[in-house]
Chains A and B, each alone.
Chain A
Amino acid sequence: MHELSLSGAIVNTVEKHAAGRRVSVVSLRIGALRQVVPDTLDFYFGFVSKGTVCEGARLGQELIPARLRCASCEREWEIELPLFMCPACGSAGRVEVACGDEFEVESIEVEEAECIAQR
């Protein structure tokens, strides 16, 4: 359900950088820990972007797996379930997220009219 709120955040971020130009592609980097459902995000983005520079834009969703790192034994591993314990040394307090909590707009593709004055 948070895909609706997140779609609004994406549109806000893109609008800031698009400077009024029509956007054709929005590329995102989404970590697994953010629990985003790709189809749901597509659906809400299409809905929220209506009437903005993002209307009709395609969402590119690069999914980043969740990887943890144990600061005690330096082991790094990928997780499916959100279990923040080191399988090697059992340490819990010193486990850090190596990647997987991103929710970034990586880039956008904008459409630009040819500038006649420069020809």
Chain B
Amino acid sequence: MHRTKVKIVEEALDANNTIAQANRADFDRAGVRVVNFMSAPGAGKTALLERVVADLPGVRVGVLEGDVQGSMDADRLAALHVPVTQLNTAPSFGGECHLDANMVRSALPELPLDEIDLLVIENVGNLVCPAEFKVGEDARIMVSSITEGEEKPLKYPLMFRACELVLINKIDLLPHLDFDLDRFLYNLDAVHPGVERILVSAKTGEGVDEWREWLAKVGSAEEVRV
């Protein structure tokens, strides 16, 4: 018995990225744009989708709802008469805390790709792992709600750097909290300088028009490259 050193030099997530590219190619062939929608649990992803998915001008939206278990979020969105597909990580994927390219691939046969222009993949609520795993998306959007505090960009830079748009949600609570918006924006620009951001309240509807336009722009784009 002897030992041999084998040189590899390969990004450990290459296997995931390869599958993500295959997903992307399938979505492209179907003419469907894809958004990976991420945040901590309770930041308001589903509430923000409820505000816009049913009336994106000229864009038919479908949702792939990622959760460890349950279909509460999917039920809320299905009530708006948009096609929703539930993907639970608990039964087949060991209760993973995020979606990866392979999980999304497994859901492809169930997605009504010929009936939609834009697929929003609502990731499992988590600020860490979803940032590492591409799933075949054109754009990545994250939600940071002001109840989470000003320091989140500094604590979770991978996530804040991985996205093209940051939705700053629950701004209706600004008068009631100690949250310092300027400090949050300073931290955000320190981690991801100039990243697009929209101040929004899923509750009052403030900023929702701008959010809808941003999403519609992705959904109607001929070609988007992350």
The answer to whether the Cβ of B111 comes within 8 Å of any Cβ in the partner chain is no
Contact between chains at B6 and A9 (CB < 8 Å):
no
The number of residues on chain A lying at the interface, defined by a beta carbon within 8 Å of a beta carbon of chain B, is 38
Interface, chain A (partner B; CB < 8 A): 1-2, 5-6, 9-10, 12-14, 16-18, 24, 28, 33-35, 81-85, 92-93, 95, 102-114
Interface string of B97-122 (1 = CB under 8 A from A): 11010000000000000000000000
Q: B12–A82 contact, CB under 8 A?
A: no
Number of A-B contacts (CB under 8 A): 104
Instruction: Name B residues whose Cβ lies closer than 8 Å to a Cβ of A.
Output: 1-16, 96-98, 100, 128-129, 132-133, 153-154, 157-158, 161, 189-194
Q: Closest CB of chain B to A7's CB: distance in Å? A: 9
Q: Which of A13, A16, A33 has the most CB of B within 10 A?
A: A13
Judging by beta carbons under 8 Å apart, are B133 and A5 in contact? yes
Q: Tell whether, in the assembled complex, residue B8 and residue A112 are in contact, meaning their CB atoms are under 8 Å apart.
A: no
How far, in whole Å, are A102 and B14 apart by their CA atoms in the complex? 12
B192 neighbours in A (Cβ, 8 Å): 84
Q: Is the interface of A mostly helix, strand, loop or mixed?
A: mixed
Q: How far is the CA of A98 from the CA of B169 in the complex (A)?
A: 33
Q: Chain B contacts of A28 at CB under 8 A?
A: 12
Other 11 A-B pairs with CB < 8 A, given A2-B129, A83-B190? A5-B97, A5-B133, A6-B13, A17-B8, A82-B191, A85-B189, A106-B9, A107-B9, A109-B4, A110-B6, A112-B2
